[in-house]
Amino acid sequence: MSNKVTTKYPFTGETIKEYSLYTDKEVDNILIKANDTFLEWRKTSMKERKSLLEELANVLENEKEMYANLITQEMGKPYKESIAEIDKCIWLINFYEKNAEDFLSDELIQTDAQESFISYDPLGTILAIMPWNYPFWQVFRFAVPTLTAGNTALLKHANNVTGCALAIQDIFESAGFPKGVFQTLLASHNQIEQVINNEIVKAVSLTGSEKAGRAIAKIAGHNLKKTVLELGGNNACIILKDADLDKYMETIVKARMQNTGQSCIAAKRFIVVEEIYDRFLEKFKEGVAALMFGEPLDPKTDIATMARVDLAEEVERQVTESVEKGAKVIVGNKRDKAYFEPTILINVEPGMPVFDEEVFGPVAAVVKAKSTNHAVELASKSKFGLGTMIFTEDREEARKLISSIEDGAFFVNELVKSDPRLPFGGTKLSGYGRELSKEGIMEFVNKKTVYIK
């Protein structure tokens, strides 16, 4: 196995930079540094941590264009979406700067003791294994609450965004966080397994595929270590007969095509009741056709190449097999290296890859439903459970459907999205645990019962 990783600009395939993986000795030293730093970091006051969060937001704001450019170069995201990603990280930081102290305050509970309460103590060093599709946002939404709770963090990022991974460590250190509080690991899979086995690491957070989730959960479970898993999604977008297509079509198109379709919470199955099916299809095709393809660094670009050639090849396989089973392509389905043309399929049914699997690219599977109940039944035919979106003008009818959907999120007249104020996570094979909000900062703390008599 090579000890080198190379980053490439997906739009051209040009090499950006080559990096050497860390040696076993370097990894061990990083672990020791994380543990030694934790022993001091956990003693810092909330006032000090909040001050560091303020400076962290400043660092991102002051160098926003540079970091957005790095994201776009390494994984091909349209530049305007990269800017939005940095802005969202700043929003997240500001949210925890304002609310973390309240979230982590001792919770007093009346008992027969003179004093009893829950103390929220940090666990220690937490390992994060993160994906390439939102290379800053995924990391910051883990790191900011985790560090603010008094833990230290290690990051194993996707190889194709190694520059982002190293930049994020530099950002924390530039903001004044002590060296060792947040460290990036350039490590192989075997090395990461040994990191999880190491007693210094107390828990693991993974955002990634179902396959990766199973592998990491198995290792962590063997070591009796907690995990938070945010895995794949196959979100349904239900279009009911009274949906306002004129008002929401831009949102519906964005729900599938943002980040060139490379999002776990993207709408992937469009389940449309038959009364509105033809009109939906007409407007949806118009919306997809209006997307501007181009150089990712061009601020006008809406949709670009995918992050790697192999990812586009996998989407091509899923579409091809679905067509062989009876699906029909009405828009798109051309691939050139890492480019995959925005694609719409109809006549989609359960049993086809584009219905059953997570399609991580700009492909929309459209399914006709006979009724609202049939639409919900189809939406629920999934091994995933990340989120569902419903478009309707009858909000009371939508409320009645909330308990019928098992997913971790239920959005009405809006695309499923993450928000620092709301918990984020899934059910079924989409994983477990929650990120963001109060629930996110509570994932990696010891909820200690204190009883004084």
Residue 203 φ then ψ, to 5°? -165, 165
Distance (Å, rounded) from C-alpha 127 to C-alpha 2?
23
Tell me, yes or no, whether 78 and 180 share the same domain: yes
Tell me, yes or no, whether 35 and 88 share the same domain: yes
Question: Per-residue confidence at 1, pLDDT binned at 50, 70, 90?
Answer: low
Domain count, the chain: 2
Tell me, yes or no, whether 145 and 272 share the same domain: no
Question: Per-residue confidence at 330, pLDDT binned at 50, 70, 90?
Answer: very high
**Residue 16 class from Cβ within 10 Å (0-12 exposed, 13-18 middle, 19+ buried)?**
middle
Tell me, yes or no, whether 218 and 249 share the same domain: no
Q: In terms of residue numbers, what domain contains 261?
A: 235-419
Tell me, yes or no, whether 226 and 316 share the same domain: no
* Residue 341 is a catalytic residue: no
Mean pLDDT value across the chain: 98
Tell me, yes or no, whether 442 and 391 share the same domain: no
Domain assignment present for 424? no
At 154 the pLDDT is 99
At 2 the pLDDT is 79
What confidence tens digit (pLDDT) does each residue in 336-366 have? 999 999 999 999 999 999 999 999 999 999 9
Distance (Å, rounded) from C-alpha 143 to C-alpha 151?
9
From 74, 85, 230, 314, the catalytic residue = 230
Residue 4 φ then ψ, to 5°? -120, 150
What confidence tens digit (pLDDT) does each residue in 442-452 have? 999 999 999 99
What confidence tens digit (pLDDT) does each residue in 100-134 have? 999 999 999 999 999 999 999 999 999 999 999 99
Tell me, yes or no, whether 166 and 95 share the same domain: yes
| Cα dist from 11 to 122, 150, 256, 305, 326, whole Å | 42, 40, 20, 6, 32
At 408 the pLDDT is 98
What confidence tens digit (pLDDT) does each residue in 154-179 have? 999 999 999 999 999 999 999 999 99
Which residues share a beta bridge with 4?
20
SS3 state at 149: coil
Buried b or exposed e, range 308-335, using 16+ CB within 10 angstroms: bbebbebbbebbeebbeeebebebbbeb
Mean pLDDT of 232-257: 98
Tell me, yes or no, whether 83 and 135 share the same domain: yes
What confidence tens digit (pLDDT) does each residue in 276-304 have? 999 999 999 999 999 999 999 999 999 99
Mean pLDDT of 88-111: 98
At 45 the pLDDT is 98
Mean pLDDT of 206-223: 97
Report whether pLDDT(180) > 70: yes
Percent of the chain residues past pLDDT 90, beyond the cut: 100
Domain assignment present for 425? no
Which residues share a beta bridge with 236?
269, 388
Mean pLDDT of 302-320: 98
What confidence tens digit (pLDDT) does each residue in 372-392 have? 999 999 999 999 999 999 999
